[in-house]
A = this chain, B = another copy of it.
Amino acid sequence: MSRQPSDMLPAESPRGPINSRIPDGDNRPRLVCDECGFIHYENPKIVVGAVCLHEDKLLLCRRAIHPRRGYWTLPAGYLELNESTEAGAAREAREEALAEIAIDRLLAVYSIPRISQVQLIYRARLARPDFGVGEESLEVALFGWDDIPWDDIAFPSVHWALAHYRETAHLADFPPFGNPPGATGNY
């Protein structure tokens, strides 16, 4: 991912002469820059990622960046401007795992309201068998289900996506999952 070092976490807080007030014609407080008058709308962020299969193994990346440096995650990150969600998921796999992926279908849509994130996670395959270690990864590897480093997974939603992948591994078609019942992704 290429946006902020806080992959799968909220953007950093503004640092500037920014105060919260309700702009004219709005109905909620927004962050307004006292100097330039710009309204710093805070918007929920879209994270795109993929569970990538290759010969019955799943591709995971060990994070080289904070938060959760050293823990394993899916290739995933913030959607960029002017990018479709599928293109964004493919870009993240390219950046973090030097992998070209073929997206199959939407696996899940997770909402993590506390950090204002919506995650769109796709089911995909490696389009070529080769991959490598991207700049934001310490290590990239394929794991059979039983070899996944379950105790060292970076984020709850990575657990969710792997479990949801597992439930649909033999299905061609399925509606995407949402959050597991009662789960908010907070930790």
Q: Which residues of A contact B (CB under 8 A)?
A: 2-5, 11, 14-18, 25-28, 33, 35-38, 40-46, 78-87, 105-106, 109, 111, 113-114, 116, 118, 120, 173-176, 178-179
How many copies of this kind of chain does the complex include?
Answer: 2
A116 touching B44, Cβ below 8 Å: no
B111 touching A84, Cβ below 8 Å: yes
A16 touching B3, Cβ below 8 Å: no
Which of A4, A41, A44, A178 gathers most chain B CB within 10 Å?
A44
* Complex Cα gap A33–B113 (Å): 28
Minimum distance in angstroms from A54 CB to a CB of chain B: 23
Kindly list chain B residues whose C-beta atoms are within 8 Å of the C-beta of A176. Answer: 106, 175-176
